Amino acid sequence: MPETCTRIINLRYKDGSVGSASNPDTFNNQRFEQLKQSSLRRGTLFVDSTFPPDGNSLGDIPDLQPWQRQQVKWCRPAEIKKLMRVGGNPSFIIDGASRTDFSQGLIGNCWFLAAIGSLTLHKELLVQVVPCEQSFEEYAGIFHFRFSWFGRWVDVVIDDFLPMMKNELLSVRSKSANEFWVPLLEKAYAKLCGSYADMHAGNPTEAFKDFSGGVFMNYELRNQHDHNHDEELWGSLSRATDCKSMIGCGTFPANGAAANTLAVTGLVDWHAYAVTGVCEVKKHGKPVRLVRLLNPWGYQEWNGKWSDNSYLWNQVSSEDQKNCVKREDGEFWYGVMIIMKMMLNKNCHLLLLLLLMELEDFCHNYSYLSICCENPNFMDGDLTCQWKLMSYNGRWIAGKTAGGSFNERTFHMNPQYRIKVKAVENKGNNNLMLSLMKKPVQNRRNSSQNAIGFSVFKANAGKLDARYLNQNLYKQSSFTSDREVVELFKVEPGEYVVVPQTIYPNCSDEFLLTVYTKTGVKMHRGDDDHDDHDDHDDHDEKPTPKPTAEEEGEEISENYKLFKKYSDRDEELNIVQLQRLLNDSLLDDIYTDEGTIVMLTYQYSGFTVNVPLEGFVAVISQLESSKSKC
């Protein structure tokens, strides 16, 4: 990052701790080096039992008919090359990773590939996500990639079986048939999502977030223009580019057109693009702002103003041409000139526009711009401020803590998080950012359709009751069915309560709440009774404190020891860990598969993806009760 951009301070995962970028946690308890060395010693190629090369990992891809799915064949790179009749040896990366290394396959994940295009522009992030020392030497059929997954960096291990149909890769295709880093990266991300099909449709900001662990902001152009924020929008984009942000955008469907329909302008409806550069040139002395875009398809470029063969390039200086003219296939410049009426077709591409009434039609016909940066500085221009973040895992439980939106009578049942914001020097207009992410159900990205949001209240002592909440709303986020909702605020020093919520009551889900501030902040559950503690202790607060034998009885104490043996450092069990615990310790010779574990856990405890101690105890009690009746 440039010197003008400061790094954010993560108070939960400090540098070097497990889960930090420098020390990623395991995913599915798989350790890459151990698995690779084990395969090499045995002389076998690794096969990933947690994401096997079969129909479950592929999923129900919308663009494939059932009979076509039956034709999918999983092959390793050497076999792929033979089927494609390509010579030479397979390679991981050839001559470095580039934004033009790949084009989209049959998976509907242009949003993800647009994010990869942005990732290749930032080498520090790229080597964090893609360990580039990997190769096909000492080959064991195993690779690994790193992602920031709900606030924690994880290392995802995969085998190198890739889906093929009719001797062509079904997934993303590399421009060089010998290069495999992109389809392998796509497979690792599909494993995170639950299947390739679970990657269908999305917003580049999801992948931006998972590639960087940063903060993002979506801009709706129509809304920005209607509120006279065009200059602010351009300022954010320019600063974001200086801070080496990942930037993406997407088009509207035109006149009811289906997704990925090619328009006469060369643009694609309902399609995600990467923003790969910005600049400003002068045409006849008047400023023109240009944005460079990349189509993940690798072809089909904008053919209007400022396209490759546009006459407008002859009307700018040779120096400006030199700065802008270098483009790759699938990349194009799109520009807008101040004091120039924009007569634009609905199908034109999304880009930033400025200051004139004529911009209204443009903003009316385009969708969103997404910016993801390591910190929020690009939003308010204070690039030297150092933000701090802390996060908290929580859950809504139907009938207990799933109170629904502010308009519901049960709203006060939602979890409450108390934060104390300290005084800050007058740098920028905003000093508090809140992010709420809903976690996938049963590790499937598209499993939860609950819209989420949050409310902020000026705090009173103790847990806030329904009457107080109804009368003291301070801020309210929008609701979204996307994975994450983010809002940036300017607040006075003081104490506040944040209430995460689903739009409807009695919807069980799990979430991650993250608070970003320009100064130190204290945070704890609003219904907890404990003294204030310093900033370094807040992020280590556990949702489930350790019970003692005196408090819970000897049986609970023994269960805690067993729970502690298999759980992660946040004292939670994922489904794989719980499955191993039950099969190893409690169910004797009865093997229980993952699907059964998920059903048992949800039925007896109300928890899904991550199970805390109380959920584990509930499951154990029910299982032992059932065994005693047999």
295 is catalytic: yes
Q: Is the pLDDT of residue 36 over 90?
A: yes
pLDDT surpasses 80 at 593? no
| pLDDT at residue 28 greater than cutoff 90 | yes
CA angle 12-401-549, nearest 5°? 70
- pLDDT per position as a tens digit, 143-153: 999 999 999 99
User: Among 490, 630, 602, which residue's Cα sits nearest to residue 619?
Assistant: 602
What span, in angstroms and rounded, lies between the C-alpha atoms of 447 and 435?
20
> How distant, in Å, are the alpha carbons of 50, 111, 388, 410 from that of 75?
17, 25, 45, 53
For 109-117, what is the mean pLDDT?
82
Report how far residue 84's alpha carbon sits from residue 79's, in angstroms, rounded to the nearest whole number.
9
Gap between the Cα atoms of 110 and 592, Å rounded: 37
**What is the rounded CA–CA span in Å between residue 371 and residue 243?**
11
Q: Which amino acid is at 396?
A: W
E strand or H helix at 556: helix 554-566
**Matching fold, domains 387-538 and 552-628:** no
Relative orientation angle of helices 594-605 and 613-628, to the nearest 10 degrees: 100
Asked whether 454 and 436 are in contact (CB, 8 A), the reply is yes
DSSP-assigned beta bridge partners for residue 499: 455
Highest mean pLDDT among 144-148, 348-352, 490-494: 144-148
Q: Greater confidence, 75 or 465? A: 75
User: Among 3.40.50.720, 3.40.50.2300, 3.30.1490.480, 2.60.120.380, what is the CATH number of 387-538?
Assistant: 2.60.120.380
Is 110 a catalytic site residue?
Answer: yes
Q: Say which DSSP state 462 is in.
A: S
Is 241 a residue whose pLDDT tops 50? yes
Counting beta carbons within 10 angstroms of the beta carbon of residue 136, is it exposed (0 to 12), middle (13 to 18) or buried (19 or more)? middle
CATH number of 552-628: 1.10.238.10
State the pLDDT confidence band at 453, using cuts at 50, 70 and 90: very high
- C-alpha span between 9 and 171 (Å, rounded): 37
Q: What is the mean pLDDT of residues 147-173?
A: 92
More confident site: 526 or 535: 526
pLDDT higher for 592 or 199?
199
**Least confident interval from 153-162, 184-193, 215-224, 566-575:** 566-575
Determine which of 124-138, 185-199, 499-513, 553-567 has the lowest per-residue pLDDT on average.
553-567
Rounded CA gap, 12 and 20, in Å?
9
Asked if 590 and 630 count as a contact pair (C-beta separation under 8 A), the reply is: no
User: 610 pLDDT exceeds 50?
Assistant: yes
Neighbours of 16 (CB within 10 A): 9
Given 295, 375, 393, 610, which residue is catalytic? 295
Domain limits of the chain? 9-212, 215-377, 387-538, 552-628
CB of 207 closer than 8 Å to CB of 425: no
Per the CB < 8 A criterion, the answer to whether 239 and 377 are in contact is yes
- Per-residue pLDDT of 430-449, as tens digits, reads 888 999 999 988 777 877 77
Pairwise pLDDT comparison (483 vs 270), residue with the higher score: 483
**Segments in 76-122 forming alpha helices (H):** 77-83, 110-119
Residue with the larger pLDDT of the pair 619 and 38: 38
pLDDT of residue 296: 60
> Which one is catalytic: 5, 110, 249, 373?
110
Alpha-helical segments (H) within 227-270: 230-242
Could you give the count of Cα atoms lying within 13 Å of 448 in the half-sphere of its Cβ? 28
- Helix, strand, coil content of the chain in percent (nearest 5): 30, 25, 45
pLDDT 10s digits, 382-419: 777 788 888 899 999 999 999 999 989 999 999 999 99
Identify the CATH class of 215-377. alpha beta
Catalytic residue, chosen from 271, 349, 443, 446, is 271
Instruction: Confirm whether 75 is a catalytic residue.
Output: no
Task: Give this prediction's pTM.
Answer: 0.72
Percent of the residues in the chain that have a pLDDT greater than 70, as a whole number: 70
pLDDT score at 158: 98
* 323/176 Cα distance (integer angstroms): 28
- The two tokens of residue 44 are 């076998």
Handedness of CA 157, 161, 162, 163 (dihedral sign): negative
According to the model, what pLDDT value does residue 355 have?
A: 21
pLDDT-based confidence at 500, cuts 50/70/90?
Answer: very high
Closest of 214, 213, 212, 219 to residue 236, by C-alpha:
219
Residue 550 has pLDDT above 60, yes or no: no
- 253-257, 533-537, 557-561: the lowest-pLDDT one: 533-537
How far apart are the C-alpha atoms of 250 and 489, rounded to whole Å?
Answer: 26
